Structure 1
């Protein structure tokens, strides 16, 4: 096989829903069915729209036809974005990394580093300049860096599937009706479409912050465990022992006794060994 044919990992990516495959609204199921029946990568829009630089709005030069590797990635990505689409907020409720994983576009190097370049470039170098999606990066004041992009699907995205803006608006109105029905059942006042959109965005932001902090704390904890486990075992156990002695009161240490304290050191040591090699749950 020539290098030209084999340089792309997973030449036939497909979208695989997450394990907690949740029931999706009728409109999402309808749109996903359309996306499965239509070749979105060869849609006429891909040939007549002039892509633009996202920051400057200046038209970009491009090839008339998507190469087959990017086309196959787009077919999978459109399904993934639809599955995670929130009708009220118009946001894709998944990170680029999650979309990449579920489409089989992520790769791992020999030393275990993940790359989502293929998915990221599809979005930032094609789908966004074409106007199918818009992406927003938000600065995380807690961790001091940017959070994963928040992706919005535009009406043009749905035109790839022959779904009009009117059908999209009808779907939003139906979703709003369902939201208000549940609010009324709970004895609460109904809300407007703008308020529903704001609430959906706020919920996604809160979930994203929780996820980020959880992931940050996990890696911080794993790094600490790796530092200790990298030591000579005797030295590592002594370090754990000193930490435990500082943690317990004199009465607690007396109650534990030498054998109880030794048992706690063993438990902590093997726990740290496990943490040191763990990966974050979403991986």
Structure 2
């Protein structure tokens, strides 16, 4: 059993920007600098705001405040959310899993199962009831379950950093000006704040669907590979051979010859073994 002082993995999580570290707008850089200088976890707002039930909107009488472990997680999470924040749509353009990974909050069990519970609970049980973020779930028709949450940062979130709603609105106007400048250069008509917000949300939803569909296809492919590899090797190779014979034309089979066909069976078999043992990589 873990002792009280060791029961949390990575007691000092830190946000690490993704490898494709992209240049962020000046407003985002300013907000991240403020978040690094201010202890957002001990901001007065965390103690004076009355948290609410996100479903009913009623005040929560019993509510778990920030202990030091959750406070550490929040300091990292705020930076991660800001880094992925889209000014036009007000959305965090990253999933909870991605945020968890980049903050060092994800854990792996001995059998390789990932857990993002620490990040998820911080958002669901604290940041959302406090009104710092709002989360929306969309039903995925492909997989028959909900897609990763779409997280929106509220003006209250920026108040944690000492950034007013007026400053946030000005940042949106500046961002819209930059967007319209590029549209005009391309010979297109400028758009409104509402249209910019709608477009950004549409892109976010499309990206989520694209990710889930590719993930679904991967798991389907891996399941089929695992089913085949579970067979006796000789039987598995026979199945691969029959599939290849059905795939190639007579002229292609003649060109390959017995040795060429055997080589293709070997390649396919070892490829399937690799797929069967692989895990999905979220790029």
Does residue 35 of the first structure (1) align with residue 41 of the second (2)?
no
- Equivalent residue, structure 1, for 2:226: 226
- State the SS of the aligned residue for 1:134: strand
Q: Which runs of 4+ in 1 moved over 6 A?
A: none
| SS class of match (2:180) | helix
**Alignment correspondent of 1:50:** 50
Which residue number in structure 1 is paired with residue 197 of structure 2?
A: 197
Where 2:128 maps in the other structure, the secondary structure is: helix
2: CA distance between counterparts of 1:2 and 1:215? 35
Partner SS state of residue 130, structure 1: coil
CA pair 164-56 structure 1, distance change in 2 beyond 3 A: same
Alignment of 1:197-216 (within 5 A): 197-216=197-216
Say which SS state the counterpart of residue 17 (structure 1) adopts. coil
Given the two structures, how large is their TM-score scaled by the length of structure 1?
A: 0.97
- Of 204-213 and 160-169, the range deviating more from structure 2: 204-213
CA distance in 2, matches of 1:5, 1:61: 28
Unaligned runs of 5+ in 1: none
The two structures, once aligned, show a CA RMSD in angstroms of: 1.4
Deviation per residue, 1:238-260 (Å, 9 max, x gap): 11111111111222222211111
- Residues 1:264 and 2:276 are matched in the alignment: no
Specify whether residues 236 and 64 from structure 1 end up closer, same or farther in structure 2 by C-alpha distance, changes over 3 A only: closer
Q: Return the offset for 1:62.
A: 4.4
Q: 1:159 to 1:246 in 2, by over 3 A?
A: same
* Equivalent in the alignment of 2:6: 6
Structure 2 residue 238 is matched with structure 1 residue 238: yes
Partners of 2:272 and 2:165 in 1: CA distance: 54
Q: Residues 5 and 205 of structure 1: is their aligned pair in 2 closer, same or farther, counting only changes over 3 Å?
A: same
- Return the alpha-carbon distance in structure 2 between the equivalents of residues 230 and 36 of structure 1: 51
- Note the C-alpha offset of 1:270: 1.2
Asked if the contact 1:105–1:116 (Cα under 8 Å) also holds between the matched residues in 2, the reply is: yes
Relative to structure 1, the CA distance from residue 259 to residue 31 in structure 2 (aligned partners, 3 Å threshold; closer, same or farther) is: same
Residue pair 1:47, 1:64 contacting (<8 A) in 2 also: no
In structure 2, C-alpha distance between the alignment counterparts of 1:46 and 1:195, rounded to whole Å: 34
Shift of 1:63: 5.7
Where does residue 130 of structure 2 map in the other structure?
Answer: 130
Secondary structure of the residue aligned to 2:135 is strand
SS of equivalent to 1:118: helix
**Does the 8 Å CA contact 2:51/2:63 hold for their aligned counterparts?**
no
Number of aligned positions between the proteins? 283
Query: How many Å apart are 1:141 and its aligned residue?
Result: 1.6
C-alpha deviations, 1:24-73, integer Å up to 9, x for none? 00000000000000000000000000100000111113468510010000
Residue by residue over 1:104-144, the C-alpha shift from the partner in whole angstroms, topping out at 9 and shown as x without a partner, is: 00011111010000000000000000000000000012221
Structure 2 alignment gaps of length 5 or more: none
Work out whether residues 183 and 190 of structure 1, in 8 Å CA contact, stay in contact via their aligned partners in 2: yes
1:120 aligned residue: 120
State the partner residue of 2:273: 273
Distance 2:13 2:161 in 1: 19
What is aligned with 2:167?
167
Q: Does 1:105 align with 2:105?
A: yes
Any idea what the Cα deviations from partners look like across 1:153-186, whole Å, max 9, x if unmatched?
A: 0000000000000000000000000000000000
Counterpart of 1:144 in structure 2 is: 144
Q: Following TM superposition, by how much is the alpha carbon of 1:210 offset from its aligned partner in structure 2, in angstroms? A: 0.6
